């Protein structure tokens, strides 16, 4: 009697507490590394939320911070380069940065190419072309970054609000080399009709949906668009505090639950995995 009781209990004893993580796993492609955060504690929080990976560029810190996090947890963090460096060159050298006349940006681009060649960075960006100091999305600087995207098969993340002129520049950049891959951060704040037109015209255009939760939740046409282009969107958080991170991921889980499971999996992690591991 005692032995059969023990047999019944065995599975419970050896399984211990259940550690099921929320599903599907999420890859956050608009995550800014924050020098003030405790990396180990953050990884535990990611585990609790079912966030498999997170990445893009550091916020207010050099590219090296992204590498530091990625070295500590190579399977969890995706380092991008260029965000604060390019901003800094624009602040000091202005237009000479985006026309590639300033020696500092030229030297930086050489370093960036060497780091991409060595496989240190998995993407370029988030490069802000509008608003802020507005500069053309097809300027010599952006063309150079685009050629690096194509040559090293890494995405270029651009923050550019959807206005006629910048969109025309972005379209020229997209068409100039179909091997380049663009992630339009926040889908440019654009409405579904414009995003649809651009995605139809440009197979190498992708978008992260950070900052777009209210629209995606409320506007039915957004869900239709996600179904029309299930391979082209990513989840992003783009937040500055841990509380906002937890809140944003929880909101995304609610949206994923409303989507057909195959689309939810693509949006949550499969599209990002494909983008970060392109077939060579």
Binding interface with Zn ion (CB under 5 A): 126, 238
159 or 264: CB nearest Zn ion: 159
In whole angstroms, how close is the CB of 36 to Zn ion at the nearest point?
17
102 versus 154: smaller Cβ distance to Zn ion: 154
In the complex, what is the shortest distance from the CB of residue 115 to Zn ion, in angstroms, rounded to a whole number? 21
| Nearer Cβ to Zn ion (211/230) | 211
The nearer residue to Zn ion, 169 or 238, going by C-beta atoms, is: 238
**Strand pairing of 155-160 and 181-184?**
parallel
The token duo for 140 is: 């010599």
Question: In the bound complex, which residue of the shown chain has the CB atom lying closest to Zn ion?
Answer: 238
For 155: left if phi > 0, alpha if psi spans -120 to 50, otherwise beta; the answer is beta
CA gap 275, 272 in Å, rounded: 5
Phi and psi (nearest 5°) for 78? -115, 105
Closest to Zn ion by CB, 159 or 253 = 159
- Cβ contact 263:230 at 8 Å: yes
Q: Coil, strand, or helix at residue 133?
A: coil
Identify whether 24 is preceded by a cis peptide bond (ω within 30 of 0). yes
Smallest distance from the beta carbon of 185 to Zn ion, in angstroms? Answer: 6
Contact 159, 211 (CB under 8 A): no
CB of 134 to Zn ion, least distance (A): 17
Report in angstroms how near the CB of residue 126 gets to Zn ion at its nearest.
Answer: 5
């Amino acid at each position: 009697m005692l032995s059969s009781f023990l047999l019944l209990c065995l599975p419970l004893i050896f399984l211990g507490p259940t550690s099921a993580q929320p599903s599907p796993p999420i890859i956050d492609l608009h995550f800014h590394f924050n020098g003030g955060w405790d990396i180990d504690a953050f990884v535990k929080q990611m585990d609790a939320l079912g966030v498999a990976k997170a990445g893009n560029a550091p916020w207010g810190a050099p590219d090296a911070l992204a590498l530091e996090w990625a070295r500590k947890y190579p399977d969890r963090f995706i380092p991008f380069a260029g965000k604060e460096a390019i901003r800094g060159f624009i602040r000091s050298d202005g237009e000479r940065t985006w026309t590639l006349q300033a020696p500092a940006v030229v030297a930086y681009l050489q370093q960036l190419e060497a780091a991409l060649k060595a496989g240190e960075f998995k993407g370029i960006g988030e490069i802000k072309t509008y608003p802020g100091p507005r500069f053309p999305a097809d300027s010599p600087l952006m063309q150079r970054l685009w050629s690096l995207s194509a040559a090293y098969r890494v995405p270029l993340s651009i923050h550019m609000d959807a206005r006629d002129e910048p969109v025309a520049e972005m379209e020229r950049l997209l068409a100039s080399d179909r091997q380049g891959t663009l992630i339009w951060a926040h889908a440019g704040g654009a409405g579904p009709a414009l995003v649809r037109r651009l995605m139809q015209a440009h197979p190498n255009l992708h978008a992260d949906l950070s900052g777009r939760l209210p629209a995606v939740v409320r506007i039915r046409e957004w869900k239709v668009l996600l179904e029309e282009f299930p391979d082209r969107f990513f989840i992003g958080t783009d937040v500055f505090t841990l509380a906002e991170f937890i809140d944003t991921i929880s909101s995304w889980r609610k949206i994923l639950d409303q989507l057909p499971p195959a689309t939810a999996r693509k949006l949550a992690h499969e599209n990002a995995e494909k983008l970060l591991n392109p077939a060579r």
